[in-house]
Amino acid sequence: MACQREDELQELVDEARKIAYEGKVANYIPALQKQNPEVLSCAITYPNGKCVSAGDINQSFSLQSISKIITLAIVLMDYGVDHVFHKVGMEPTGDPFNSIVKLETSSQAKPLNPMINAGALAVTSMIKGKNAEEKVEYILKFVRKLCNDPDITYCNDVAISEFTTSFLNRSLCYYMKGGGVIHGNVEEIMEVYTKHCAISMNSLHLANVGAVFAMNGVNPVTGERVMPKEVARICKTFMVTCGMYNASGEFAIKIGIPAKSGVSGGIMCSVPGRFGIGIFGPPLNDIGNSHTGMKLLELLQEKYDLSMF
Ligand code: GLU
């Protein structure tokens, strides 16, 4: 069992917050640079639906790359494993999340995995719907079920801020379109992608999403199965091999649990059969993972032995 007491968790949050100014809030998406580096929150949701939380728990943040796990789950459910992995690979990469280099050296511009931007954009291009609005609504409907909150939506400022500045992601799309990996209108793919990256929630919501994956696809609060076990298993495996950017190996050794982070400073963890964790701490380390969030996970690991290995 991990932490059961809010006062104990609060102590760890306060300890981790001390290093807030050693990290740097992301600024390549202009809207993200407004985030307060001192904010830190953590929630842990257990299989019985009980939640323990501490810190600035009401602060919302955009999911950014954490949404890649959710869109992957959606396309796996809609198209099946063979179709999805025909377009996107399963191998981790030592390159940065937005790198274009492997698209040229791998066969037919096929992205290495769905956690790097190229792979996530290819996944986004598969989302069902007549237009961008329908596709975004389709994703939101699923996210609301994962969070038990019908009001979940995206932050328009963050979405527009990324959409108007995201030239590198557009080049990844065009490169893959040239290689026949993606079809369709690049501006529409970019609109859907930036909006799902901008989906906004707090750590309580994120811990529940993490718990659904931890519980093999069953929502711990409602008891409803929201995805097949196989889909949850594949998503958790990607979280281990590629979830923490090019520090995924180090993370597996030091913390040892499936996790996915995003440049806004969110980290979602799914400890199989045990619990989901949602963390938000905006300052990032050199690799792009939340600096305070990583510290907090190290403290949790020391105290509660999180590692599944
Ligand atoms: N929307 C961000 C981008 O594509 C997500 C990156 C991330 O969180 O890693 O740059």
pLDDT in tens, 290-299: 999 999 999 9
The average pLDDT across 191-215 equals 98
193 CA distance to ligand 1 middle (Å) = 9
Judge contact between 290 and 38, C-beta under 8 A: no
* pLDDT above 90 for 141: yes
Atom of ligand 1 at shortest range from CA of 193: 1
What is the third-level CATH fold of 65-197? Probable Glutaminase Ybgj; Chain: A, domain 2 (1.10.1500)
303 CA distance to ligand 1 middle (Å) = 31
Whether 65 is catalytic is: yes
Going by alpha carbons, the residue nearest to atom 4 of ligand 1 is 117
**Architecture in CATH for domain 6-61+202-304:** 3-Layer(aba) Sandwich (3.40)
pTM greater than the 0.95 cutoff: yes
Judge contact between 257 and 242, C-beta under 8 A: no
Q: Which residue, 286, 246, 203, is CA-closest to 24?
A: 286
The single residue of 39, 263, 264, 290 carrying the catalytic annotation is 263
Whether 175 is catalytic is: no
Instruction: Please report, for residues 3, 54, 195, the alpha-carbon distance to residue 7 in angstroms, rounded to integers and kept in the order given.
Output: 10, 8, 36
The single residue of 25, 123, 245, 270 carrying the catalytic annotation is 245
Domain definitions of the chain by residue range: 6-61+202-304, 65-197
Percentage of residues in the chain having pLDDT higher than 70 = 99
pLDDT tens-digit series, residues 265-288: 999 999 999 999 999 999 999 999
Burial of 71 (0-12, 13-18, 19+ CB in 10 A): buried
The single residue of 65, 67, 125, 166 carrying the catalytic annotation is 65
pLDDT tens-digit series, residues 20-30: 999 999 999 99
